[in-house]
Structure 1
């Protein structure tokens, strides 16, 4: 019998180690999936590299511990590669999560339910779908452990190297657009890096419409030509179908799979297996795809690298963008981080030489960026007393009408869905607050409901004020649903459409709505942030930000960076057609036109905006010039949460050497923007360190000590550490 170290998803804060020991009749290689007993249940685990220095387990009296036996190994699947195990290990260590939790959470949920017989059926089904011969059925009598491991490694190598797709013939090869001089220069730098001993991480700073997607396609083409695989990450699911179509059209003879939460469990498992076995040449996906095992990985692309969606916000709070950089270094694959508005962290790395900066400052076809017009809302005519101001200032409304008359499209951006953020009573000042959260319930007129967008609590709109009985309940503020209604009234005969999370809930509706926009069946498109990035609307010549000020003045120091990126991305939807670029415009309605952000936006000057923001952050000691971790907790009572955080602060200080006490700053516990969600009070405490190694050393000894601290503070429901937090 052999002793195996197995990573399993143990209960959080159970005090168990990263791996558990089991005994098995065969010495299965690290990375092999096994089914093992855990308590009274059976679960999936991953054989892990054993720590040779770890002592043998023994009972309290010194007698050897009787190990539980592995139930079954999923031997029909090649082991997960060492690079995958190294990536998972780094993720767990850096983001302060259990190894088994990370390893199992990034595997397809369907895979965790299968035994070896069930997995073999899925593999045969996959081979049939790909036109491959089914794999030979496993023999009932196993070979020796050494022979079994050798055969598994041999099969994995064959599957990783053998191409299983039909090569593209000259007749099938799609027409490729000619490259601009900037694209040609960028690609020359990228392709040369494929042969480097240690490929670089490239920050591709290209303005909207400069042809970054074509660069991705050509770089992937080069990776495929040398027998490698390409991994392309996008921030959101709604960008995956259109990018998938672009890649499918360019590589008709290649196997392309996607990985995102919009797939069914069976689809996700099939695509994951195709990638792991080396059948898939191209993998497109959202942040979870960074953990997809790829035996021939040769290129990683992170599109819109600045997007906050790459940061997981529950469980293991990892950044897929940062892990992409680490994985590229680990597997010696070039990494391309693309954006028109890079994150300030990536931009700083490019300025210091840590990343290689590649620039594309011109749009394809020599089209110009849209002219930016700032409307000072303080100078606009005021409506009669008791009436709400119009959604669009008169000059902007006239500009939209002009576009309609010319047969062109307009995009109105308002990052707030629903009809109105709140309902209120004009008699007693009642407002539609959520009874379970410190937030308002949003009024949705279409189904006459009040919905909390934090906990999901929904009720029908009351006929009268619940407090005083007044029937005159009025909406306050404006959401996309209300803006759509107002535009239909202000623009009679215009074809107005809305795209947000409410109108795209059903499968296929987003694709249908986008197709209508591309076909010219929409005159005015109203949408949230989901329509401001990545979309190539050729007929849009006017983009308007209806109310951006609400995103500017918050307690988060990243608010200006996020707003500038959003507005630049939104403005980039206008003038994508070179012929219409000269008459394309972006309008911004604001009450603070003197803000430096709008001055930089008017000139499309990201460099100046980034320089000013980095100067401010350097003076304030904020990232990227310092490193942060955020300890969050939830409790039934606010005082309990605050006491826990204060005790955690005292514990952390006691763990620091005396000479480092002044280097690490612990901020006072404070409530977040929404302090109460689903009945639980939330509090958070920020920890700031001057260097990443110093902060990591503290977290490594602090995190394991927190479970015992929690037991001393009854009423704490949950707590978590967020390393490199984006939302503060």
Structure 2
């Protein structure tokens, strides 16, 4: 008997091995491939080989890693793996390696759960009831819940999920963009659905063994409700009835490594294939979703009022040329006033570390990562310069290595600097910081969020992870320390991202209070993303931006595929991308454009030079076809790497 095995390598071939006890479709195995022993996935069993090969060349499977299959060949899960492989142009092995959890079953280290406490189910407002009825009356498998921050979208999701779990005996998948949000949702869901089904969690902070344990609970049917971040979209749920995609606009739903899938796209495919419903929601929809709603192609319901008794916060823009920062006098005054009123403040800055760069004021020298074309960030707590792209570390300088000047300064504030400055100005305030540096400490995120809920924190400083999904009853002020971060990136989505982030973080204020305030600090007070956010004018900004996108033929009025070549020698990378571009031009069908090639905005990352080109068309299938045809006959030079990104979200 022979086992057909695929590996997590960028080759579409499968390999055959002599089976040992335990080999069956759906298990992981260890097997030798050339000079390496790799983990592979058994996708078939056969008594005869499909091609003539000497028996002496067939190797044995070295080890079977699973006692039971993790998937079946004829199931929806395997169909999904094949679709991911085809649509995102990766190998089947790469798709399965991303979809199936690694690790061994852990008997003594289960996922930690809080003991269920008393759960109070909120009474639905008339708007929420109407939203639910509109969902059920729609004939489409797609539905959008478009509502301002604090309008109670979560309660609508949970009410729909409860009905489906009870009445249809189905299963529900609840996707959130940020890992830090899962613990809050899990606690409320376990309390609410305790008598109906088990709840499973899937996200990257779990150990490999914990993820595999949760996977098996889902596979066995013990848990019919799954909550998780991006990769949870592949949870092996049976009888899938509903997928909830919360904060649909979030770019974190897009994978940054092969396969570069988008959870929204996978959820749409899965809902259609498995006969489930997909409900998406956001206060700031993606432009793709907004255009579909506007054109009548996506049924939706708009929630227009807050359910916690709060009101839209007062918005004020502080021009940093008039009031120097990073903590301007007006912002400091508001922090002090808010504290005296017994309320809390959130300060948002999407830069971690102490300073964003170190620069010599005499000659302009700047400390740049030796492996990436980005400035190093100074982390004062460890007195170290760190590259946030490749992890390179070195000591900061006191003397310029270029001109020997001691006129060296730290520039560009980060969350660490904000924490230090606030502690100096307000020594008796209880100040906490939430970013990827502090979140690395086990349990720290949940601890800080609990302290905020209990009113034991006066000021919370954080990056993007505090910009969404968090509701604090005593929160009176939100300050955006520097709204310009992200506007200088050469990306057609830059304005959209900044506007959305400002609207989301501003939405934390005034949810339960009638007089919440938001202060936005900026050097670009007249930029449309900031000006429209100040007016809380989502429709005005979207219509303006959509007009620009239509004039320039960028998504959502077209589809893109990004092709990137990277390698250690720039001349070879450049030569390769131009050679590929020439072949593509000769094969381009009508309706497909080729943009580029050019250097990437981030020219070097981790010692690799990067060049890219784009294919653009109204329809993605025609681009898929031409790219697959060209790449099937294109041999990549040794030492270079090719990246394919379908519908790219980040083009830096």
TM-score normalised per structure 2: 0.91
Change (3 A) 1:635 1:356: same
Q: Which residue of 2 aligns with 1:177?
A: 122
Does structure 2 conserve the Cα–Cα contact (< 8 Å) formed by 1:191 and 1:222?
no
Change (3 A) 1:648 1:621: same
- Name the CA distance, whole Å, in 2 between partners of 1:597 and 1:37: 53
- Name the CA distance, whole Å, in 2 between partners of 1:278 and 1:702: 44
Q: Is 2:513 the counterpart of 1:587?
A: no
Task: Select which of 24, 41, 48 maps to 1:45.
Answer: 41
Q: Which residue of 1 aligns with 2:551?
A: 619
**How far off is 1:64 after superposition?**
11
State the SS of the aligned residue for 2:382.
Answer: coil
Change (3 A) 1:239 1:174: closer
**How far off is 1:11 after superposition?**
3.3
Change (3 A) 1:599 1:299: same
- Map 1:305-704; keep pairs closer than 5 Å: 305-378=248-321, 380=322, 389-577=324-512, 580=513, 582-657=514-589, 660=590, 663-704=591-632
Q: Is 2:25 the counterpart of 1:93?
A: no
Q: Which residue of 1 aligns with 2:647?
A: 724
Does structure 2 conserve the Cα–Cα contact (< 8 Å) formed by 1:32 and 1:75?
no
**How far off is 1:243 after superposition?**
1.2
Bigger shift: 367-376 or 627-636? 367-376
State the SS of the aligned residue for 2:188.
Answer: helix
Q: Which residue of 1 aligns with 2:9?
A: 11
Task: Select which of 131, 134, 155 maps to 1:189.
Answer: 134
Q: Is 2:295 the counterpart of 1:303?
A: no
- Name the CA distance, whole Å, in 2 between partners of 1:590 and 1:177: 39
- Name the CA distance, whole Å, in 1 between partners of 2:239 and 2:465: 33
Does structure 2 conserve the Cα–Cα contact (< 8 Å) formed by 1:57 and 1:65?
no
Change (3 A) 1:681 1:543: same
State the SS of the aligned residue for 1:583.
Answer: coil
- Name the CA distance, whole Å, in 1 between partners of 2:45 and 2:549: 42
State the SS of the aligned residue for 1:668.
Answer: strand
Q: Which residue of 2 aligns with 1:250?
A: 192
- Name the CA distance, whole Å, in 1 between partners of 2:50 and 2:207: 43
**How far off is 1:574 after superposition?**
0.4
The alignment yields a C-alpha RMSD, in angstroms, of 2.9
Change (3 A) 1:637 1:72: closer
Does structure 1 conserve the Cα–Cα contact (< 8 Å) formed by 2:110 and 2:213?
no
Q: Which residue of 2 aligns with 1:201?
A: 142
Does structure 1 conserve the Cα–Cα contact (< 8 Å) formed by 2:101 and 2:215?
yes
**How far off is 1:228 after superposition?**
1.1
**How far off is 1:697 after superposition?**
1.3
Does structure 2 conserve the Cα–Cα contact (< 8 Å) formed by 1:423 and 1:431?
yes
**How far off is 1:397 after superposition?**
2.2
Does structure 2 conserve the Cα–Cα contact (< 8 Å) formed by 1:7 and 1:48?
yes
Q: Which residue of 1 aligns with 2:219?
A: 276
Q: Is 2:68 the counterpart of 1:76?
A: yes
- Name the CA distance, whole Å, in 2 between partners of 1:207 and 1:282: 26
- Name the CA distance, whole Å, in 1 between partners of 2:33 and 2:528: 59
Does structure 2 conserve the Cα–Cα contact (< 8 Å) formed by 1:200 and 1:355?
no
**How far off is 1:191 after superposition?**
4.1
**How far off is 1:615 after superposition?**
1.5
- Name the CA distance, whole Å, in 1 between partners of 2:118 and 2:446: 26
**How far off is 1:533 after superposition?**
0.6
State the SS of the aligned residue for 2:223.
Answer: coil
Task: Select which of 123, 135, 155 maps to 1:214.
Answer: 155
**How far off is 1:681 after superposition?**
1.2
Bigger shift: 38-47 or 599-608? 38-47
Q: Is 2:633 the counterpart of 1:705?
A: yes
- Name the CA distance, whole Å, in 1 between partners of 2:118 and 2:452: 29
Change (3 A) 1:636 1:204: same
- Name the CA distance, whole Å, in 2 between partners of 1:246 and 1:631: 43
Change (3 A) 1:575 1:330: same
- Name the CA distance, whole Å, in 1 between partners of 2:586 and 2:483: 45
Does structure 2 conserve the Cα–Cα contact (< 8 Å) formed by 1:564 and 1:597?
yes
Please, which runs of 5 or more residues in structure 1 have no aligned partner?
112-118, 131-167, 382-388
State the SS of the aligned residue for 1:44.
Answer: strand
- Name the CA distance, whole Å, in 1 between partners of 2:191 and 2:87: 39
**How far off is 1:7 after superposition?**
5.0
- Name the CA distance, whole Å, in 2 between partners of 1:77 and 1:687: 40
**How far off is 1:328 after superposition?**
0.5
- Name the CA distance, whole Å, in 1 between partners of 2:70 and 2:326: 59
**How far off is 1:623 after superposition?**
0.7
Q: Which residue of 2 aligns with 1:150?
A: none
Change (3 A) 1:404 1:101: same
State the SS of the aligned residue for 1:330.
Answer: helix
TM-score normalised per structure 1: 0.82
- Name the CA distance, whole Å, in 1 between partners of 2:423 and 2:569: 47
